[in-house]
Amino acid sequence: MRQKQITSIIQKYMPMLNSDSLVFQELLKCFSENALIQPDTNDLISFLSPRRLFNVIKIKSSSAEGCSKELLQKHPLFSEAAGMIRYYNTPSGVNWADIERAETTIGKTLAMDIYDWKPDMFTVFNNENNTEYELVMIIAFSSEF
């Protein structure tokens, strides 16, 4: 049920986004029922604002904080995004303190324009088969010049 709802929202607000695209698939995953922090569909609606370009960044590390630090080193332009939706895939047992440190690291680097920024949302998935942490970010940039 949830996947159909999310698919419908994406198709309504961003009809040109191909359902086979990585962005579409990662949005479906992020808003799935398995999320430990249930995302609000209003964040998805505001994320899919007109005149935006999207990109997906995936980073793996031994910790969530390690993912955020690697993000800063390898993808510094993420901080200029107009919006961001992200999730962490964690190994067995979520270390919430580690997630909080990762989110603090990311939050300190964002140069947010308070009139255009929306949204900044994250969630967590626990996967017993994972041996390392993964940070998946779907970022939106304004395509207005």
CA-based nearest residue to 38, from 141, 143, 102, 121: 121
As given in the structure block, the two tokens for residue 55 are: 């990109």
> What is the domain-level CATH number for residue 81?
3.30.1330.20
Q: Residues 56, 135: contact at Cβ < 8 Å?
A: no
Domain tally for the chain?
1
pLDDT at 111: 56
Q: Which domain holds residue 44?
A: 2-142
H/E element, 53: strand 52-61
Q: How far apart are CA 52 and CA 47, in angstroms?
A: 9
In order of 7, 21, 57, 142, the CA distances from 123 in angstroms are 18, 21, 15, 23
pLDDT at 116: 56
Q: How far apart are CA 53 and CA 36, in angstroms?
A: 28
Q: Residues 138, 25: contact at Cβ < 8 Å?
A: no
H/E element, 70: helix 64-74
Mean pLDDT by 10 residues, the chain (145 residues): 91 95 97 93 93 94 96 87 92 92 86 60 90 95 75
Q: How far apart are CA 86 and CA 91, in angstroms?
A: 17
pLDDT at 43: 93
Q: How far apart are CA 58 and CA 136, in angstroms?
A: 5
